[in-house]
Amino acid sequence: MQLYLPIAELTVNMFIFLGMGGAVGFLSGMFGVGGGFLLTPLLIFTGIPPAVAVATVTPQIVASSTSAAISYWRRRLIDEKMTVILASGGLVGSTLGVFTFRALRSVGQLDLIISLAYVVFLGFIGLIMLRESVRAILRSRAGRSARPTPGHHNWIHGLPLKMRFRRSKLYVSVIPIVALGAGIGFLGSVLGLGGGFIMVPALIYLLRVPTNVVIGTSLAYTLMTMAVATVLHATANKTVDIMLAFLLMFGGVIGAQFGAQVGQALRGEQLRALLAILVLLVAFRVLLGLFLTPEEVFSLRIMGGAA
């Protein structure tokens, strides 16, 4: 069934994007990540303009984060105080990211910057994840703990402006919390990333946040920052395609239910290894796209300036 996407200015088969949303939702449920880092490149591969792909993924991330965040909140597994501080930095980062996005789009360099950023960013993250997961698998086979216990203190705990977080049972500086929120908020707005797959390990290994409140806190942060990014992209850049977003959200909700069931049957280190391989494959596909000759070498198109 053909459907016209008014912002992307394309006529597409709606079942392809329902299936894409379902596939990414399946992976999100299986690996416990938002899926924006996979969905944005996939949309670009199918012909959606990068500016529209990045902006349209943000409401999809909001939708996927909302129900999960509510569930964690009901079980009191969200550190509300830390979420507010993370979000304060995230709102600044998201705002700067949207206007950086607009500036790059106005000079005609957005497509190239997004592709290069995904190659570098996903390649780096994927290699780190693969290295850590392979080590965990080897330790598990040797009869040792699959995950080494992190130390109780590091250099971050020596920073000033400390604050007590009772839910997380921590007394740490707000400086790295604000910086982490701002950095992930910026990346989320420019590249269409929810940032959960960065936020969760950062909170665990850098700030020593207890595992039982990490996921809920990360989801609540993502919900707040991506909601702001969605509004700013829609008003300042006019690049959010609501029709496309609804297709992706509908498919993602269904796919996530099946992915969660599969994920429960696999061990943590196996899931991380599979996710790392998937991330590296996406990075390689984006890199390949930079060198392949497009089907239409020349095209007539109005450059997207400040609308």
What's the rounded mean pLDDT across residues 226-245? Answer: 82
Q: Which residues contact residue 211 at a Cβ distance below 8 angstroms, ignoring those fewer than 6 apart?
A: 204
Per-residue model confidence (pLDDT) at position 307: 41
The string of pLDDT tens digits covering residues 247-302 is 888 887 777 767 666 655 666 566 667 777 877 887 787 777 777 655 554 444 44
Q: Which residues contact residue 267 at a Cβ distance below 8 angstroms, ignoring those fewer than 6 apart?
A: 140, 146
80-89, 101-110, 173-182, 223-232: range with lowest mean pLDDT: 101-110
* DSSP letters spanning 171-205: EEEHHHHHHHHHHHHHHHHHH----HHHHHHHHHH
The string of pLDDT tens digits covering residues 45-93 is 788 888 888 888 888 777 777 766 777 787 787 888 888 898 899 888 8
pTM: 0.69
Which pLDDT band holds residue 31 (cuts at 50, 70, 90)? low
What's the rounded mean pLDDT across residues 128-149? Answer: 69
Contact between 60 and 222 under an 8 Å Cβ cutoff? The reply is no
Check pLDDT > 50 for residue 229.
yes
User: Which residue from 70, 25, 64, 60 is spatially nearest to 260, judged by alpha carbons?
Assistant: 25
- CB count, 10 Å around CB of 56? 31
